[in-house]
Amino acid sequence: MVTCCAKPLNVPAFTFFFALLLSQIDSTLTNEAQSIITVLKADVANQLDLDSAAQVAPTENILIQFWNTDQRLLLARPSFWQQTLDAAGLRSGVPVFRSVGAANGVTLRVLSVPVTTPRGPVGVLQVGINMGLVVAVQRSLAVVLSLVTLGAMIITGLVIWLVTGRALAPISMLTRTAAEITRADDLSRRIPTRGISNDEVGRLVVAFNDTLERLETLFTTQSRFMADVSHELRTPLTVIKGNLSLMRRMKEVDEESLASINEEVDRLTRLVGDLLMLAQAESGRLPLQLGPVELDGLLLDVVQQLQPLAGDRRLVVAEIDEVQLVGDRDRLRQVLLNLVGNAIQHTPSGSKVTLRLSKDEKLARLDVIDTGPGIPADDLPHIFERFYRGERSRKRGPGTGFGLGLSIAYWIVTNHGGSIDVQTREGSGTTFTVNLPLQGPPAAG
């Protein structure tokens, strides 16, 4: 007779569960309406046949009403429900789902389906179901979702608080450590790195500790430097002051005192010159004047220059190759003077200092070998530090240095792209080995 073309309405809902439940209810109403329409018939006047209407037996909990075109109720199941299920649905003209509220506070889900025949409209079939259970489920679900959401927010907040607190703990410790260092002037403090992950914060802590270590080394070196400079200046100044005082009491000029003063002034001049050079080198204001250098000829010149200083010690050139490299001639001469002079100073009287100069395809190698007492193991890591002198070298004598020669030599060699190695055995002498690239430092290559 009539085909029901209604489809469940896509009702927005705050949860997928409620939307699915509502869709199931609409499907049930659609199936119920289709089964009823297959039973209903129209008479010759195109009105609802009451005999066919009497055969309608709705499913439990389903409400059925049939309204004719004059909006008169012809069929009601159950019969006591005479109130219109959906007044707006009667005028829709198309199948429609609506949720409506009844007078007794009940919420209904109603499907209104216009019923027609080839002769025209017959009326409107309305099929409804009580939504009390669905509303109760909806409210319960809303409460559950609210509680779950609140619980999730609380848990998320706790997790964020814990994670953030753990992540920021090293930064807080870093801040406290920095403040304590400022108050106590103690650069030896470090932030513990145990348990810190290797992330941005962990790397920040490591970098901060490295900075503290460098600052501690810098301030320690500066303090030792000031103490050593004060010590080095005190001795010649005391000698000069004593000689001047002696000369004031004498009627004639004492040549020996003048010579002593001149010697101490020369020592001070050398000290100031060496300090100035190191300061310029460390500040980058001492560029190397690079050019071709005949290292073998330079070594022979240095040997000839230092021969008078050697006294009864022999300077022996055991091996010498023709070596030409790119470097700063004056600075390399200073390296040779410092190393050979240091070897002479630590070689016993009557012994020899052996020099060897060789090369390979890339490097020139210079060995300076003395037969002195060697370097104690405790002193070996510090020999290139400024003003450092082992216990055996602390007694001053004429011609002794200030502990700057090896520091200067180390800076010159490393800035030529080379290296200085030391091999020593107590009681058996020391060998300083200098390796220099033939093509000069990398920046000049």
Domain that holds residue 99: 16-130
Q: What predicted TM-score, i.e. pTM, was given to this entire model?
A: 0.45
Q: Report the amino acid identity of residue 171.
A: I
Task: State the Cα–Cα distance between residues 266 and 41, nearest whole angstrom.
Answer: 134
CATH code for the domain of 205? 1.10.287.130
Q: Among 78, 107, 130, give the residue marking a domain's end.
A: 130
Tens of pLDDT, residues 391-424? 444 344 444 455 677 888 888 898 888 999 999 8
What's the structural domain count of the chain?
A: 3
Question: Of 416, 420, 417, which is closest to residue 434 (Cα–Cα)?
Answer: 420
Tell me how far apart the terminal alpha carbons of the chain are, to the nearest angstrom.
102
CATH for 302: 3.30.565.10
pLDDT greater at residue 441 or residue 357: 357
Cα(69)–Cα(91) distance, rounded to whole angstroms? 10
**Do 311 and 421 fall into the same domain?**
yes
User: Looking at 283, 306, 323, which one is the last position of a domain?
Assistant: 283
Per the domain annotation, does 178 fall within a domain? no
Measuring CA to CA, which residue among 361, 324, 329, 354 is closest to residue 340?
354
The predicted structure's pLDDT at residue 286: 63
For residues 33 and 68, state if they share a domain. yes
Q: How long a stretch of residues is the chain?
A: 445
Can you read off the two tokens belonging to residue 436?
């220099």
Q: pLDDT of 214-224, one tens digit each?
A: 877 777 766 66
Query: Is-contact 290 327, C-beta < 8 A?
Result: yes
Quick one: 319 and 421 in the same domain?
yes
pLDDT the model gives residue 12: 40
178-215 per-residue burial string, b: 16 or more CB within 10 A, e: under 16? eeebeeeeebeeebeeeebeeeebeeebeebbeebeee
Q: Is the pLDDT of residue 234 over 80?
A: no
Is the domain of 314 the same as that of 439?
yes
Is residue 28 scored above 90 in pLDDT? no
How far is CA 110 from its chain centroid?
Answer: 64
Same domain, 342 and 426: yes
Banded model confidence at residue 274, pLDDT cuts 50, 70, 90: low
Residue 287: pLDDT band (50, 70, 90) is: confident
CATH number at residue 102: 3.30.450.140
> C-alpha distances in angstroms, 313 versus 306, 308, 316, 408?
11, 10, 10, 25
Tell me the sheet residues that pair with 342.
none
